[in-house]
Structure 1
């Protein structure tokens, strides 16, 4: 069960920022004992890949703070974020972490299943994010872009940390994000009336 929560947290984080969970898994696997990646996923620890992911993460973080550029970035990321979600879900459910000491072969018979689950989770989160952003930018004349982007980055980092350290918190964070989104939508509707 904890393996699924780890994968869910990592894939959800990918839907917000594709590179944060990939970079976190790679760095934590390479430099700490917090994560031990399964044999098929140790390429995430490659120094060159970590460098590329760091640069891509920085570009994504900056681009996401600029109104209009954030929407273009979301279009480009429509392929990248779900792919990242599939990778981190599959590697996350098979990784040994502080909370998961024996991941075993959770999906041994169908190794593609965790990838599909991660792709779907990340895609749903990404499409929600990408749908909200243009509306928020139009309503606030772009002022909300850096605020929303920063909140998304913090949420992505929080989901990754929760997924690795205390997977049960993933449910709490995701529930909190859903409640916050519903409250924002309601608030927006009340302002229209």
Structure 2
């Protein structure tokens, strides 16, 4: 149960920023006993993986703040975010220290598919909302929304690893916030179009 919640939370976080949950899992597995990755996923905590994820995280954090570039980044993220969501879900769901489910340990592909789908769903909402927000705010909203997404990814990843019982609440809050943000941006864009049509 807890492993499934951890996997779901990390996958949703990967939909916002792929490298935050990956790096968190790698560092927690490397430096603590909170997560002990099974042999098939031990590469995640290697220095090569940690270094590569750090560089990619820094790149994503910078590029995602620039209007128009953020949309190109989201196109690349269409493949990357669900893949990493699936990997972190499978790795943590099959980690024996998080749960005692031998079924999940023996069948990590179930978590990989579920995690990929969750990450894809969150990514789709993010990627769909961003052009609307950029248009409505003339590009000024990109750095603000991107920062909020990064903070959300960090918070959701921490909750997923250390307080998995709260993942359902965190996912509900995330869904509500994304829905409100898209709705508000669309309303603002519609008002702007109407004002330009009158002028």
TM-score by length of 1: 0.92
Q: Is structure 2 residue 182 aligned with structure 1 residue 178?
A: no
Match of 2:36 in 1: 36
- CA distance in structure 1 between the partners assigned to 2:157 and 2:183 by the alignment: 28
Paired residues in the alignment total 190
Determine if contact 1:19/1:53 at 8 Å carries over to the other structure.
yes
> 2:161 maps to what in 1?
164
CA distance in 2, matches of 1:8, 1:80: 17
Structure 2 CA distance, aligned partners of 1:43 and 1:159?
23
How is 1:58-73 mapped onto 2 (pairs within 5 angstroms)?
Answer: 58-73=58-73
Q: Contact (CA 8 Å) 1:93, 1:106: kept in 2 or not?
A: no
TM-score by length of 2: 0.89
1:104 matched to which residue of 2?
101
Is contact 1:29–1:35 with CA below 8 Å preserved after alignment? yes
What's the counterpart of residue 19 of structure 1?
19
* Residue 127 (structure 2) pairs with residue 145 (structure 1): no
Residue number among 110, 115, 119 corresponding to 2:116 in the alignment: 119
Contact 2:64 2:146 in 1 (8 A): yes
**1:80 and 2:77 correspond:** no
- C-alpha distance in 2, partners of 1:43/1:160? 19
Per the alignment, residue 133 of structure 1 pairs with 130
Q: What 5-or-longer segments of structure 1 have no aligned partner?
A: none
Range with greater deviation from structure 2 (148-157 or 33-42): 33-42
Distance 1:186 1:5, change over 3 A: same
Deviations 1:64-115 (A, max 9, x none): 0111110000001111111001100101112255xx3x33324355432111
The 8 Å contact of residues 136 and 186 in structure 2, kept in 1 or not, is answered as no
1:188/1:145 CA distance change after superposition, 3 Å:
closer
Structure whose CA Rg is larger? 2
CA distance in 2, matches of 1:49, 1:65: 24
